[in-house]
């Protein structure tokens, strides 16, 4: 696509060659970081369906889809900063990604910092939840 903009996840790739690929087919996320980046982009686009579908079945809460989408629309997403990845490569079945997601809400910049745990099942990565300290 000629007018394809840079992906919201900060990868410096175009959306169609980055998170757009994962949106088209969840299994296109070959690493935990790719799935985490696509989930951030899903927040910037208020795509509750994708966020629920990529959430691991043991921690998925489908009833929250509308609340997630409504909140994601109510803030202005600024940027994603990936701080650290542990495992989560194509050959792994588990991994973690520490990140900061910046957004503007209620007159100020807010930051979500999380060390997220991911698990691969049937060759697809899923977000399980934050790693508790």
Quote the pLDDT of residue 62. Answer: 79
In terms of phi and psi (left: phi > 0; alpha: psi -120 to 50; beta: otherwise), the region of 31 is beta
Cβ distance 119 to 125 under 8 Å? Answer: yes
pLDDT the model gives residue 3: 55
Average of per-residue pLDDT across 104-130: 96
Q: Is 1 within the bounds of a domain?
A: no
User: Residue 1: pLDDT above 60?
Assistant: no
Q: What is the structure's pLDDT at 63?
A: 80
Domain membership of residue 56 (yes or no) is: yes
* Buried/exposed 43-63: b ≥16 CB within 10 Å, e otherwise: bbbbbbebbbebbeeeebeee
Residue 12 falls inside a structural domain: no
Range(s) of the domain holding residue 34: 19-130
Domain membership flag for residue 7: no
pLDDT in tens, 17-63: 999 999 989 889 999 999 999 999 999 999 999 999 999 999 988 78
- What is the CATH number for 28? 3.10.450.50
pLDDT of residue 40: 98
Q: Which residues contact 124 (CB under 8 A, 6 or more apart)?
A: 26, 27, 29
Q: Which helix (H) or strand (E) holds 17?
A: none
Rounded distance between C-alpha atoms, residue 115 and residue 130, angstroms: 6
């Amino acid at each position: 696509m000629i007018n394809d903009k840079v992906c919201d996840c900060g990868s410096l790739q175009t959306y169609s060659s980055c998170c757009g690929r994962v949106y088209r087919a969840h299994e296109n996320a070959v690493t935990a970081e790719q799935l985490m980046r696509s989930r951030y982009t899903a927040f910037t686009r208020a795509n509750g369906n994708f966020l629920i579908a990529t959430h691991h079945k043991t921690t998925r809460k489908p009833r929250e889809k509308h609340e997630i989408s409504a909140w994601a629309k109510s803030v202005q997403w600024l940027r994603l900063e990936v701080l650290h990845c542990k495992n989560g490569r194509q050959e792994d079945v588990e991994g973690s990604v520490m990140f900061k997601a910046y957004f503007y809400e209620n007159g100020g910049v807010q930051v979500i910092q999380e060390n997220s745990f991911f698990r691969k099942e049937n060759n697809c990565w899923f977000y399980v939840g934050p790693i508790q300290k």
